[in-house]
Structure 1
Amino acid sequence: MLKKLLPIALLLTCHTFATHAAKPDENVVITSGIEEYRFVQGKNGPEIKHSTTLEYQATRRSERIRPHIFHSNIISLDKASGGKAQYRNANSPTVFHDDSKVCYFDILLDRKDRKAKVQFRRTFTDGAHFTGVFPSEEYPVRSKQIVFHIPASLPAIELVDRHFPASGITRDDRTAPDGSRTITYNVSSLPEIPDDTHQPSALSALPHIMVRGYFPDCDSLYRYHRPMLDVDTVIAGASATVAGLTDGAKDRLEAIGRIYRHVQQNIRYVAFEAGEAAYRPDTPAEVMRKRYGDCKGMSLLLATLLNRAGIEASIAAVGTDVIPFRIAEAPSLAATNHMICIVPDGDSWLFLDPTHEQISARHIPEWIRGKDAMMFTSEGYRMIEIPSTSPVASADILNYNYRLTPDGLSGIAYRHYSEDMAEHFIKSYAEVPGQHLNELLAKALVPTQRAAVPADSIIYKKDTPGEITFWAPILNTAALTEADNTIYIDMNTSGDPLTSRIDTDERRSDYQFPMTGLIKRRTTVMIPENVDVTLPDNYRHEGPIADFSCIFSREGQKINMTKTLLLHTARLPLQEIPDWNKAVSTWNEACNQQIEIRLRN
């Protein structure tokens, strides 16, 4: 759970979480607490003095807890009390230099009713990094106050309440005669942070107090970013590199695609940095030397190589789909968590994300669609609207081409992923040792293991941008049943993602699918001429979340079943999960109907 919450805490850099996986029947509770955030004038602008005191209690049995807090060169740790404080880096120092650290206590609540109190004090020396507070904790909160002290000199600072529950958090605003403000949130009987599988991002779902107004507009946010982007873009031998990459390209788009592909395939993406490193990119020369980089370093390298090839390109800050607001809506460091490269393309743009190794130049990755991007140019910046749809579709298509044999259904299994689904497949198997890849590909061809695919016979292709294709011979001995001169064929032999029931027992949050797109399964069987065929009824269901269909057909000596799921939205509301489960169950029942083949006399 600590790994899950680390990006949240470092994104908002303002809250304390414990390192224990929360359960609905939580043993440990927070009996009382107070958090204070006091805005003061520092040497270089507003600073925030933060103090938090929390009391933990074991209610039924002994348990070990690890209250902790993050700090860095931007957020100083001024005090930690409650036991023997321990310190470590917040992420691996062997990849990127990152000054973010965590201070924590290892506390044993050794019996029922045992209590422990911890206190931390910090200073946000750069007010830009104080962007919000999560009232929830990893343990249930019985009572807690969150108090903000805002001087009259900062009238633009405002607190925006997001995703507050119907009860459990109240707010009290008071303004003193001198114009200073005290805003108090009283928290009571607030459940712990959910730990559901496939839950939406914290900013999209958890109660959240957004701090807005440090940057009054996009101009001020740009002025903050700009000095950190002034890095040396000289790359020794860059002209020769791009000349070799673009030699023989038939047009500008192909040249762009080749350079894009070179960065995607040759620079390893390392995903996370915090503190100042989250905003200042590494130099392109250094990224090329190390052969790895984060989104900033990879995007700047890509833009630099494109510029060397005479192609206009700029880097841009953007918020991904884990951030539920746009830059223009709430200009702040919390509104951007990613960087891409933008290239003019006639009257439109290409939105190139080199951290995705398998998507094509024309495709817009789903996680940035519908967002606004702050594109940095030589003259300043420009806000660019990213379309909400991509000109290239994402799909997962699995075909079985069979013929009837004495041993069962024999033929070829063929799977094709495109764009975001291809990228998702690549990332899913990124850590799999090479010697086991074929085994996993075989399982991807026959997820239910109802048929045999020789692992050493698989042909695997990923050399085309935006596509992954693999195929192999297949023998399915479980799909046929024969009785009374009739052959019954089960055409639903694949097994599919998204077709299992979503467990709602104790679930408290919406369900987040990895992406939207088309999932199609097509089974074709060649049959003899002297047979009569009985096809099951077709099935179609259209809904706001997804469209389901199962179509049976005959084309001469071929019988077909095409099973399709078109997912419209990636987020399934909690209250709609039972309807989803019912729709999936009905769909599967329709697809499980057998085709009957009767031999003629």
Structure 2
Amino acid sequence: MKQILILLLCAVSSNLSAQSTEELLQKYSGETGVYTKDYHYVNIYYEKGALKASMDVEQEIMLIDETRAAALSVETVHDSYFSTLGKLEAATLIPTAKGFKSIPTTNIKTSPGTSGHVFYDDTKEKEIYYNNLSKGNRTSLKYTQHFRDIFLMSKVFLQNYLPTEHQVVSVTFPKSVKISEIFKGTDAPWLQKTVKENKQTITITWEGRQVPKAKFYADAPAVYYYLPHVFFLVQEYTASNSDKPVKVLSNADDLGRFLFDKVKNINQATGTDLKAKVKELTTGISNDKDKARAIFEWVQEHIRYIAFEDSLGGFVPREADVVFQRKFGDCKDKSSLLVMMCREAGLDARYVWIGTRDLPYSLKQTPMPGAFNHMIGAVKIEGQWVFLDATDNVTPYGSVPYSLQGKDAFIAHDGTDYEIVTIPVKNASGGIIRDSSYVRIENNMLTGVVHSDFKGYAAWEVQQHLMYMSEKDKEKVFSAITSRGNNKYAQKSFDYVLEKDKQKSLHINASFELKDYIKNVGDDYYINMHLLKPFADGKIETQTRKAPVNFDFNQTLQYTVVLEIPKGYKVSYVPDNEEHNFKGLGAYRVSYQQNGTLLTLKSEFTFEKLMIEESQFKEYNLMIAALQKAYKETIELSKIK
């Protein structure tokens, strides 16, 4: 196998079009750097009768802009229980008349990983520090990753944050192995596919040249939605000493066996203290719903969430009794405790594997562990599954964090019996903000008070931010929430109430002054009563953008502004009432009404689309244009003569 790899590497190197350093510097002028090489070779092979997998990586980056050398001077490679790092070579390549002078890198530091993915294990980061990096020099990195489990091979991205001069991705596997190639993200038209076979193996190669650099967007979902990348899944294989195929990951049944194998041996018995706590929480409660709620709320409040995984701890939950005694754990640990406590209370509770909305993968299309990065629990109440995610300290019983909406939940019964349930997406009533401003004109500025009510996801999102803040920092948050009109907004006072009821609503009150907002021309006042303008700057660039636009949750925004008409003035102009519906997105309604000395603007915006795909960009921009037009309207107050 190694001989085949060496030959393949030599073949690729010999076919590269020779370009001088000066040619590349000119070609990529204006860039920080360019990947001159980006090669990933996945190898699937037998070792002592067992199927193994590894990946050889070779990358070179040329520095183009010397003022940004710091951006390329440090590189990170991950090493973990499931993906162990083999031989690593790093160097700085300095161009000479005869080729390159290689200066090996010796400054390599190992530190704990910082990934937010829950199912990562004991990841370590190797930080590689390059010396002698100046314009035209290259960083050179070569390493091998050995995958401990063929279920858990890494994805390979087909586009980088820098342009790439030459890219190669290949997979080599024995003919007795059946694999599937799963591409995700946007298309990668720069790649050309070839397939080569010999007596024993098949090699599939994708090769590209002049690959454009990736574009990133602050309002896009995670990069997995739009950066092209590929998975290689082993579906089945036939060992040399057997005629019977071994199933690996050909469908959800195979995935179910893999997942249940990780939990089948835990929580075989309940400890005395844990039994006593369940009894204490459920005594006097007769219905299953209230039992589950009492257990969930106790775990949510009393078990701290700490993400830590070590080797198989990346997939195997800890014993419920251990979590109960420690009073902390990661998502799997809290799920282990929840499930065990619910079962002790006589409830039908199960483990649930799920991917957050950071991952775009569907279990029907990609039945693999990589489709998950989270674990929760589920309990069946009156024939319906209620999902329990106690890692979120705010979201109440009966709801799930907005990051799980629309995702496939894999509910394990045993190794062969499971359910895949798609968690519903809440409509616009799932996140509601009702905001009222009561204003008057004083000393040629607006003064007033604000009353804001947040419900559902709108409330829970704010409460998550507030959880570990000082009162001073909270004041800054509430000032940002109540701010309106222009940047001269000054908050004079504020208070807030976090409801302790089942829905955990949030109420904010504030008083304010707003200078330089009213336009005074002669005896007339011109006032834009749209003190808040949601989505005002949201127009999408449609010429080159391929990434979708992401929203945390569907929402209803109801804004009311009540203006006290000054004594001696009348309303001489009010904009027309408007109502717009935007196909597949939502609706906007605005109305003005005068009642004696009060003029009221009511605007309501409902938005019901978590992700705006490229096919909806045009309609979305029409919606933004309509909103921008409405937001420009002003009322006119004239002095009574």
| Fold-level similarity (TM above 0.5) | yes
Q: Which residue type is aligned with residue 312 of structure 1?
A: D
Q: Residues 469, 371 of structure 1: CA spacing in aligned structure 2 closer, same or farther, 3 A cutoff? A: closer
Note if 1:41 corresponds to 2:33.
Answer: no
Note if 1:295 corresponds to 2:317.
Answer: no
Q: Residues 147, 303 of structure 1: CA spacing in aligned structure 2 closer, same or farther, 3 A cutoff? A: same
User: What RMSD over aligned residues (CA atoms) do the two structures have, in Å?
Assistant: 3.6
Which residue of 515, 520, 536 corresponds with 2:575? Answer: 536
Note if 1:500 corresponds to 2:537.
Answer: yes
Which residue in 2 is equivalent to 1:332?
A: 368
Q: 1:24, 1:506 within 8 Å by CA — same for their partners in 2?
A: no
How far does the alpha carbon of each residue in 1:184-236 deviate from its partner, in whole angstroms, 9 at most, with x for none?
11021123343432332232111111212241222222222223223236354
Which residue in 2 is equivalent to 1:565?
A: 605
CA drift of 1:345 comes to 2.8
Which residue of 79, 96, 100 corresponds with 1:71? Answer: 79
Note if 1:420 corresponds to 2:452.
Answer: no
Q: Which residue type is aligned with residue 460 of structure 2?
A: E
Note if 1:174 corresponds to 2:196.
Answer: yes
Note if 1:231 corresponds to 2:266.
Answer: yes
Report the 3-state secondary structure (helix = DSSP H, G, I; strand = E; otherwise coil) of the residue aligned with 1:67.
strand
Percent identical pairs in the alignment equals 18
Which residue in 2 is equivalent to 1:491?
A: 529
Which residue in 1 is equivalent to 2:7?
A: none
Report the 3-state secondary structure (helix = DSSP H, G, I; strand = E; otherwise coil) of the residue aligned with 2:472.
helix
Q: 2:429, 2:554 within 8 Å by CA — same for their partners in 1?
A: no
Q: Residues 268, 423 of structure 1: CA spacing in aligned structure 2 closer, same or farther, 3 A cutoff? A: farther
For 1:404 and 1:33, how far apart are their aligned partners in 2? 63
Q: 1:319, 1:326 within 8 Å by CA — same for their partners in 2?
A: no
Q: Which residue type is aligned with residue 27 of structure 1?
A: T
Q: 1:357, 1:423 within 8 Å by CA — same for their partners in 2?
A: no
Which residue in 1 is equivalent to 2:89?
A: 81
Report the 3-state secondary structure (helix = DSSP H, G, I; strand = E; otherwise coil) of the residue aligned with 1:257.
helix
Q: Residues 87, 138 of structure 1: CA spacing in aligned structure 2 closer, same or farther, 3 A cutoff? A: farther
Note if 1:515 corresponds to 2:553.
Answer: yes
For 2:513 and 2:272, how far apart are their aligned partners in 1? 56
Most deviating of 394-403 and 480-489: 480-489
For 2:289 and 2:489, how far apart are their aligned partners in 1? 42
Q: Residues 164, 492 of structure 1: CA spacing in aligned structure 2 closer, same or farther, 3 A cutoff? A: closer
Which residue of 253, 256, 262 corresponds with 1:219? Answer: 253
Most deviating of 242-251 and 566-575: 242-251
Report the 3-state secondary structure (helix = DSSP H, G, I; strand = E; otherwise coil) of the residue aligned with 1:299.
helix
Q: Which residue type is aligned with residue 221 of structure 2?
A: P
CA drift of 1:545 comes to 6.0
Q: 1:398, 1:445 within 8 Å by CA — same for their partners in 2?
A: no
- Structure 1 regions of 5+ residues with no counterpart? 1-22
For 1:511 and 1:269, how far apart are their aligned partners in 2? 30
Which residue of 197, 215, 220 corresponds with 1:199? Answer: 220
Q: Residues 525, 347 of structure 1: CA spacing in aligned structure 2 closer, same or farther, 3 A cutoff? A: farther
Which residue in 1 is equivalent to 2:11?
A: none
Which residue in 1 is equivalent to 2:37?
A: 32
For 1:167 and 1:267, how far apart are their aligned partners in 2? 49
Q: Residues 389, 138 of structure 1: CA spacing in aligned structure 2 closer, same or farther, 3 A cutoff? A: closer
For 1:173 and 1:576, how far apart are their aligned partners in 2? 37
CA drift of 1:149 comes to 0.7
CA drift of 1:31 comes to 1.0
Q: 1:394, 1:420 within 8 Å by CA — same for their partners in 2?
A: yes
How far does the alpha carbon of each residue in 1:446-494 deviate from its partner, in whole angstroms, 9 at most, with x for none?
2555544344x40321423443312224244546566676555432223
Q: Residues 382, 88 of structure 1: CA spacing in aligned structure 2 closer, same or farther, 3 A cutoff? A: same
Which residue in 2 is equivalent to 1:163?
A: 185
Which residue in 2 is equivalent to 1:323?
A: 359
What count of residue pairs does the alignment treat as equivalent? 574
For 2:464 and 2:504, how far apart are their aligned partners in 1? 14
Q: 2:80, 2:124 within 8 Å by CA — same for their partners in 1?
A: yes
Report the 3-state secondary structure (helix = DSSP H, G, I; strand = E; otherwise coil) of the residue aligned with 2:321.
helix
Q: Residues 378, 170 of structure 1: CA spacing in aligned structure 2 closer, same or farther, 3 A cutoff? A: closer
CA drift of 1:535 comes to 2.8
CA drift of 1:527 comes to 5.6
CA drift of 1:581 comes to 5.5
For 2:154 and 2:530, how far apart are their aligned partners in 1? 50
Which residue in 1 is equivalent to 2:238?
A: none
CA drift of 1:337 comes to 1.6
Which residue of 130, 139, 151 corresponds with 1:107? Answer: 130
Which residue in 1 is equivalent to 2:3?
A: none
For 1:339 and 1:452, how far apart are their aligned partners in 2? 44
Which residue in 2 is equivalent to 1:584?
A: 624
For 2:111 and 2:149, how far apart are their aligned partners in 1? 22
Note if 1:594 corresponds to 2:629.
Answer: no
The two structures have a TM-score, normalised by structure 2, of 0.79
Q: Which residue type is aligned with residue 106 of structure 1?
A: Y
Q: Which residue type is aligned with residue 381 of structure 2?
A: D
For 1:526 and 1:69, how far apart are their aligned partners in 2? 63
The two structures have a TM-score, normalised by structure 1, of 0.84
- Structure 2 regions of 5+ residues with no counterpart? 1-27, 91-104, 236-247
Q: Residues 24, 531 of structure 1: CA spacing in aligned structure 2 closer, same or farther, 3 A cutoff? A: farther
Q: 1:460, 1:469 within 8 Å by CA — same for their partners in 2?
A: yes
Q: 2:31, 2:65 within 8 Å by CA — same for their partners in 1?
A: no
How far does the alpha carbon of each residue in 1:381-402 deviate from its partner, in whole angstroms, 9 at most, with x for none?
4213224333893224142252
Which residue of 189, 208, 220 corresponds with 1:187? Answer: 208
Q: Which residue type is aligned with residue 199 of structure 1?
A: A
Q: Residues 559, 243 of structure 1: CA spacing in aligned structure 2 closer, same or farther, 3 A cutoff? A: farther
Q: Residues 65, 510 of structure 1: CA spacing in aligned structure 2 closer, same or farther, 3 A cutoff? A: farther
Q: Computing the radius of gyration over CA atoms, which structure comes out larger, 1 or 2?
A: 2
Q: 2:35, 2:162 within 8 Å by CA — same for their partners in 1?
A: yes
Report the 3-state secondary structure (helix = DSSP H, G, I; strand = E; otherwise coil) of the residue aligned with 1:359.
coil
Report the 3-state secondary structure (helix = DSSP H, G, I; strand = E; otherwise coil) of the residue aligned with 2:189.
coil
Q: 1:42, 1:125 within 8 Å by CA — same for their partners in 2?
A: no
Note if 1:146 corresponds to 2:169.
Answer: yes
Report the 3-state secondary structure (helix = DSSP H, G, I; strand = E; otherwise coil) of the residue aligned with 1:136.
coil
For 1:463 and 1:570, how far apart are their aligned partners in 2? 28
Q: Residues 543, 272 of structure 1: CA spacing in aligned structure 2 closer, same or farther, 3 A cutoff? A: farther
Q: Residues 485, 164 of structure 1: CA spacing in aligned structure 2 closer, same or farther, 3 A cutoff? A: closer
